[in-house]
Amino acid sequence: MLGKREEAVTELLEQVFNSVLEVQATEQLNAEPYERSDERTTYRNGSRARMLATGAGSLVVHVPKFRDGTFSMELFSSYQPSEQALLLSLMEMVIHDVSTRKISEITETLCGSSFSKSTVSALCEQLDSIVDAFRNRPLSRHYPFLVVDAIYMKAREQHRIISKGFLIAIGVGDDGFREVLGFTVADGESEAAWNEFFLSLKERGLEQVDLVTSDDHGGLTKAIGKHFCEASWQHCQTHFSKNVLDRTPKKLQPELKVALTDLENAPDLNEATAWKNHLLEQYQAEAPKEMRLLDERFDEITAVYSLPEPYRKRLRTSNSIERLN
């Protein structure tokens, strides 16, 4: 139920592909639409719709038609054998502040031909407006559950390569479907950065959130408490378990990892509590600090049990958003 790709992402990819096709047509014709040019090779003759199957759903792309029928279909032949690489390249072109030389290399990989510097700049301007429209669209539906996370990536800023935080939020609607609500690039995961991001989501219509899933980064949890004070906080079980195991003596790590997994897979809160008590008794002598941490954070890592059973598995961790990233 939660694994469906959102329609908004499909629409975004459709616009990106259609922008690439339009720019490719200009490159092949040596002329913009309606432009008078001695270098023009032929003329446009409308377009035809074509379905393109992707991992994000079926896209409707508009393939340009030329009067002499010579429009190159290299975009599709390049796409089919390497969908994931193409999507990653598209996202890199859209999100990263990379040089026109780098983008030329990417578009050559995508489309089989290199674009001029001016055409690359024009394409990036088109893509910027598409992505900005996606990021700033109104959030008119109700999203009772929120999953948030950040990753770090390299970006070019003032002729330097620096690390930037990419903050992203996924909402789960009343119908159980996930949707990317928004994302932003910040200098890091400070409380101020998350505050600004959450405020932008609320200004676009996000409200009445019942549960937020995330790791326990200090700036993030403070911002969650400020903006979603009436929501429960689910401490990502994957992050919590890794934190516990990193502190545990190596000889105990394999068996404790299995025991924590059993606790996290408990069918209800009563059984999870029983598992916790069992672990506290069994490992108190050999891992006292880790067991104290488990006892103190138990309510945080089991907040998801307040939800109906079908929602719990995907909301007990932020794994889904990390796979998306």
What HEC string does 254-323 produce? HHHHHHHHHHHCCCCHHHHHHHHHHHHHHHCCCCHHHHHHHHHHHHHHCHHHHCCHHHHHHHCCCHHHHH
pLDDT exceeds cutoff 60 at 90: no
The confidence score (pLDDT) of residue 5 equals 42
- State the pLDDT at residue 11: 79
- Residues facing residue 148 across a β-bridge: 169
- pLDDT at 126 (0 to 100): 66
Split at pLDDT 50, 70, 90, the class of 279 is: very high
- Euclidean distance between CA atoms 141 and 103, whole angstroms: 36
Residue 24 confidence class, pLDDT cut points 50, 70, 90: confident
pLDDT over 50 (residue 263): yes
Alpha carbon distance, N-terminus to C-terminus of the chain: 20
pLDDT for position 257: 93
Q: Is the pLDDT of residue 130 over 80?
A: no
Q: Is the pLDDT of residue 135 over 50?
A: yes
Higher local confidence (pLDDT), 156 or 106: 156
| Listed range (45-59, 165-179, 253-267, 289-303) with the worst mean pLDDT | 45-59
What 3-state class would DSSP assign to 3?
A: coil
Cβ(78)–Cβ(109) under 8 Å? yes
- Say whether pLDDT at 75 is over 90: no
Which of 65-74, 113-122, 300-309, 314-323 shows the highest mean pLDDT?
A: 300-309
Residue 101 or residue 163, greater confidence: 163
Domain boundaries, the chain: 7-135, 140-325
Q: How far apart are CA 4 and CA 185, in angstroms?
A: 25
pLDDT(323) > 60: yes
Q: Are 146 and 169 in contact (CB under 8 A)?
A: yes
Please say whether the beta carbons of 278 and 174 come within 8 A. Answer: no
What's the pLDDT at 58?
Answer: 74
Confidence label for 124 from pLDDT (cuts 50, 70 and 90): low
pLDDT at 51: 76
Cα–Cα distances in Å, from 136 out to 67, 123, 201?
39, 20, 9
* Distance separating alpha carbons of residues 230 and 258, to the nearest angstrom: 34
Phi, psi of 185 (to 5 degrees): -110, 130
pLDDT at 259 over 80: yes
Cβ burial, residue 192 (10 Å; 0-12/13-18/19+): middle
Angle subtended by helix axes 83-95 and 100-111, to nearest 10: 160
